[in-house]
Structure 1
């Protein structure tokens, strides 16, 4: 059954209202006194000697294996949306979170991340080589160990949500599709681990779809990352149901657009990426300077996503506040923890 909500999506925040905050970006989170820094594409992480990990979500946005820009409030939005979902799903699956000392920061348990990325899909959608829509268009009907019927249309709801697991490629590599049999045959996970992860992922996705529907949204697909803690317990890691890890559509316009063969209306999380692609070959050419208005429009997309998903209002901070100073101040209690 397709969605029935008729709730209209909120408009983008006023770009003019965001202009005074264009400088409030957290590009780097290098904090003297915190040990074992690892700089990822988006997060700066610090491993403490007591088994805790500090994850600082910056405002960096990257694509094509290259940094593109910094988007005001992006890191805060992702952290707060993930918090919204972690707090509402902890009865379904334990997660890594221990504390939120700052709007951009999570302190969590350090985990051994499982070598399988869990993607749950409720619709025939996607554009990458590993997406089920791409494979379906190529004639495949057996995908990730699931049999899909003939006659499905792009962006059509599946009879039930399915798990489409992939390998976790190293930086610069490409994820490869897996099936349950491959996961077990290659000893990527034990049978018990696969059972636990599968049940948790489907339950998390069902709850995500339910709450999204209450807000006039469709959670079409998402990815989860799991790890094991010191006791061997499987724990949800990283983030959950954020616009960067999930595909959201607006329910109000879905049926009409589907009937017309048009793609669903969504959060344009590829706003900056699409701007770059229209002007160069991002894999070969220098990246042109991205105009301030494009950066602010991207910020507005993230703020609208936050407000729609959580139901909360995003209050803009004092323009004089420096986000890195705030992060350093809120992490003062963790300084000096060296091995």
Structure 2
């Protein structure tokens, strides 16, 4: 039985549009959208060939929990989550930037620092840091939101100079980003995890700013285990982490970083299953709940009905 959702291709009577993202299929209606979290996985801005069983359910359900837990900080787009893989909510006009915030020097930021850069997105970094060190304070390193291809680092100054976001709105996005990261950090610490870095996306509807997309999931965030963090840093050992970084590292080890001319390596079934297990592990760690796998016997019919009955 196929337990992974690679894509959906529904057509609804009152549908006004459709958008296929790297991971999500978005069905648009007059003032609502229905978002299906597929099991596609992307890395280095490339969608990998094989879907990961239950990954979409993990993302959708973690996002639902964190969106509900942060609604007192910023209003969000969600109106209902009628299916393990479906969220329905308010249609917003997205800002063309992603608000990335980092509390530690890891991932992309570390790779840039290792190459000698001491400024990322216009934010200066001190000398003498090593991989996974805690930063003196969290830094915001935005990226452009590309419809296709790679997102690109961009500074606050360039965002404002290019008119991508107004100064008034950007000040609000920064305020929300820092408050959300603080809440996420506290919630992670409560479960024995460190929220290393994450990204937030925002949109506007009726003149108001809303938090959109997913929040604090393994696709948008990086987590370390708190236990052993200090010892690993002192002894220059890698951190045990729950994020997509291990997928990126596997790809790098197989000569793929999304660069021109590189070919995506074949993913053995063991790798696919290991990735699925990692996503489920993160769900259970960050929520403190046992993951209940959805019945995917008739998953397409289940998903379609959940949208029809709730739009």
Q: Structure 1 residues 162, 62: closer, same or farther in 2, change over 3 A?
A: closer
Q: Distance in 1 between matches of 2:196 and 2:135?
A: 10
* Partners of 1:272 and 1:295 within 8 A in 2: no
String of CA shifts for 1:170-222, please: whole Å, max 9, x gaps: 412441321x3222222222221011111100000001001100100000110
Q: CA deviation at 1:91?
A: 0.4
Give yes or no for the alignment of 1:323 onto 2:299.
Answer: yes
Count matched residues. Answer: 306
Tell me which of 233, 237, 240 is aligned to 2:212: 237
Structure 2 residues not aligned, in runs of 5+:
none
Tell me which of 2, 11, 14 is aligned to 1:32: 11
* Partners of 1:62 and 1:68 within 8 A in 2: no
- 1:117-196 matches, within 5 Å, as 117-126=98-107, 128=108, 131=109, 133-178=110-155, 180-196=156-172
1:297 match: 274
Q: Distance in 2 between matches of 1:214 and 1:78?
A: 20
SS in 2 for 1:119: strand
Q: Distance in 2 between matches of 1:332 and 1:82?
A: 22
Q: Distance in 1 between matches of 2:148 and 2:187?
A: 33
Give yes or no for the alignment of 1:208 onto 2:184.
Answer: yes
- 1:39-54 matches, within 5 Å, as 39-49=20-30, 51-54=31-34
String of CA shifts for 1:281-300, please: whole Å, max 9, x gaps: 57646655533332222111
SS in 2 for 1:235: strand
Give yes or no for the alignment of 1:56 onto 2:56.
Answer: no
String of CA shifts for 1:3-47, please: whole Å, max 9, x gaps: xxxxxxxxxxxxxxxxxxx62111222223252222222111111
Q: CA deviation at 1:149?
A: 2.7
TM-score normalised by L of structure 1: 0.83
Q: Structure 1 residues 291, 110: closer, same or farther in 2, change over 3 A?
A: same
TM-score normalised by L of structure 2: 0.90
Tell me which of 192, 196, 210 is aligned to 1:220: 196
